[in-house]
Amino acid sequence: MNRFSLSTGPARIAADIGSLATAPLREVALRLHTVLKEVWPHSALVIFTEDCTGRPQKKAGDAEITGHVTIAELDALRRSANGTQWAGHAAFGGHPRAVVTLQADTGAILVLCEPREVVDENAAAYARTLWEIVAASIARQVTEAAPDYLRESRAVSSERLQVTAELTDRHVADLGSLLATLRSRDLDHSRARALATDLAADALIRARTGGDLVASIAEEPVSHAFQRLKKDLRPLSRSEALDIQFVEPPADGRALPGEVAHAARAIVRSTILLMHDQKAVTRVRVQWNCDGTHLLISMRDDGPGRLDRDLPALRQLVARATALGGRLDLEAIADWGSRVDVYMPLDRPDTSDQAVHAWDLAPRETEVLRLITAGRRNRQIAAHLGISENTVKFHTSQLYRKLGVTSRAAAATLATEAGLR
C-alpha cells in the first residue's frame, strides 16, 4: 500500500482535484480510477447516479469485472449502504466480491471493487473528498447540460435496455425452473405443486422489484421532481431578498422522464437567476403542472419587465428546451414584469420515419427490423411475413450492412433508440 501524505504533495493534490473537477461526464470514471488507484488501490470502480438518466453507471478498471456489472447489483448495493461508507462482500460483476461503497451528499454511489485495506486515515479521507468533488461535478454538469447532452440523454436508452435485458434473462431462468419442477418425475404431485408455488412467488417478487427499478431509472414522479427543485432553490431564497412562491403540481400527475425532470429544474433555476439580476425584483412565482402529455412551467416576477430574449443565457435556455422537443416563451412588459412559460413534451417524438429514411431501408427490410426489435427469431419472422428463412437471412444481412452493425442485438438497440416499433 502506498502511503499518502497531505503535507508532502500539494502539487499532486492540486493536479488531482483539477483533473477531476474538470472531467467531462464520459471521462470522469476513468480519471477517478487513475487518481484513486494510487491512494486506495482497487481492481475496478463503478459510479451509480440517478443524475445521468440516460447512462446512470460509469465504469473504469478491470473489464472482466465492469463488463458484467448489472444495474440490479448496483441498486442492491445502494439499498444496503447505510451512511457514507460501507464495506463487505456482495454480488458484483456476476460473482461475490469484496467491495467498498461511498455515498456522496448528492446521493450518488461509488463502488470500489477488491480494494486493498487503507491503513492511512489521511488517504481514506482524501479519497472520500475526491469522490465528493466528482459527485458534485456530475450533478453540476447535468444541471448545466448543453443541448447536445440533453438530446443524447433523451435519445440514448442503453442503460434502460440493459436493465430490460437483465429482467428478461431473469424471467427466462425463473420460467425454466418452474417448468422443470412441473415436469420432474422425481416429485409427486403435491410436492411439485408446493415447490412450483414457492418458485412462482419468488419470481413474482423479483419481477415487481425489477419493474420498480426500471421505473426509477427512467422516470421521476412529478411531485418528487418539484420537491427537489424547491430544495435546490432554498439557498437563493434564504440568502437573498427574494421571495420565491411555489404552486405545487398535482400529486397524482404523470411521472416525468428523468431527462425532462433534470432539464426542467435547470431551466427554472437559471431563469430565476436571470429574473433576479434585474433591479427591484423581490418576488418570483413558480408553477408546475402536467396535462398528461407536457410538463407546463410558468415563472413570473414583479420586476421592471426587461428580460431580453437575445440575452446569451436566455438563448441557451431556449436551446435546452428545444433539444427535448419543447419550447420557451418570454413575455416582458415594462413596469409590469416578465413571464417565462416552458412546455416540455413527456414523450419522445416519433423519429422512426426519419430513421428509415436515413438508413435507406426497403419496406420489407423495415418490417424485418421491427420484428427483430420485438425479439422474433428468423423462423418466427418467416412465418409472420410468409417468406422463407433464407429470405429473412438475406434481409437481415442487408440490414446489418445499412445500419453498420454485426449482430441482432446491435440492430435492435439502434432501432429502439430511433423509436422504430
Q: What CA dihedral angle connects 26, 28, 30 and 32, to 10 degrees?
A: -170
1 occurs within a structural domain: no
245 occurs within a structural domain: yes
pLDDT at 329: 93
Domain boundary among the residues 143, 163, 182 is at 143
Please count the structural domains in the chain: 4
Domain boundary among the residues 288, 315, 345 is at 345
Cα–Cα dist 81/227, whole Å: 24
Which residues lie below 8 Å from residue 381, measured CB to CB, with a gap of 6+? 368, 371, 372, 392
Determine contact, residues 65/93, Cβ cutoff 8 Å: yes
Cα–Cα dist 367/420, whole Å: 10
pLDDT at 156: 44
Characterize 306-316 residue by residue with b for buried, 16 or more Cβ atoms within 10 angstroms of its Cβ, and e for exposed. Answer: bbeeeeeebee
**Secondary structure class of 286 (helix, strand, coil):** strand
Nearest to 114 by CA among 43, 220, 174: 43
pLDDT at 7: 45
242 and 330 inside one domain:
yes
287 occurs within a structural domain: yes
Which range of residues forms the domain containing residue 179?
155-216
pLDDT at 33: 93
3-state secondary structure 200-226: HHHHHHHHHHHHHHHHHHHEECHHHHH
177 and 270 inside one domain:
no
268 and 179 inside one domain:
no
Q: How many CA atoms lie within 13 A of 73 on its CB side?
A: 25
379 occurs within a structural domain: yes
pTM of the full structure: 0.51
262 and 309 inside one domain:
yes
pLDDT at 8: 47
3 occurs within a structural domain: no
103 and 199 inside one domain:
no
Which residues lie below 8 Å from residue 234, measured CB to CB, with a gap of 6+? none
Characterize 347-378 residue by residue with b for buried, 16 or more Cβ atoms within 10 angstroms of its Cβ, and e for exposed. Answer: ebeeeeeebbeebebeeebbbbbbbbbeebeb
Q: What is the bridge-based pairing of β-strands 95-103 and 109-113? A: antiparallel
pLDDT at 302: 92
Cα–Cα dist 269/178, whole Å: 52
Instruction: Dump the DSSP string for 287-347.
Output: EEEE-SSEEEEEEEE-S-----TT-HHHHHHHHHHHHTT-EEEEEEETTTEEEEEEEEESS
Which residues lie below 8 Å from residue 238, measured CB to CB, with a gap of 6+? none
Supply the CATH number for residue 319's domain: 3.30.565.10
Cα–Cα dist 283/360, whole Å: 54
229 and 336 inside one domain:
yes
Query: Angle at the Cα of 214 (from 213 to 219), degrees rounded to 5?
Result: 105
Domain boundary among the residues 326, 345, 364 is at 345
278 occurs within a structural domain: yes
363 and 305 inside one domain:
no
Supply the CATH number for residue 108's domain: 3.30.450.270
Determine contact, residues 263/300, Cβ cutoff 8 Å: no
- For each of the chain's 421 residues, which pLDDT tens digit applies? 444 454 446 777 888 888 888 888 888 899 999 999 888 899 999 998 866 655 667 889 998 898 888 777 887 888 777 667 888 899 888 889 999 999 888 888 899 999 987 657 778 888 889 999 998 888 877 766 655 555 555 544 444 555 555 566 666 677 777 777 777 777 777 777 777 777 777 766 666 555 555 555 567 788 888 988 888 888 777 666 789 999 988 877 778 887 788 888 888 988 998 998 888 888 999 999 888 888 999 999 998 988 888 888 888 888 888 877 889 999 988 888 999 999 989 876 555 555 567 788 888 888 898 888 877 889 889 988 889 999 999 999 998 888 888 888 778 877 876 766 6
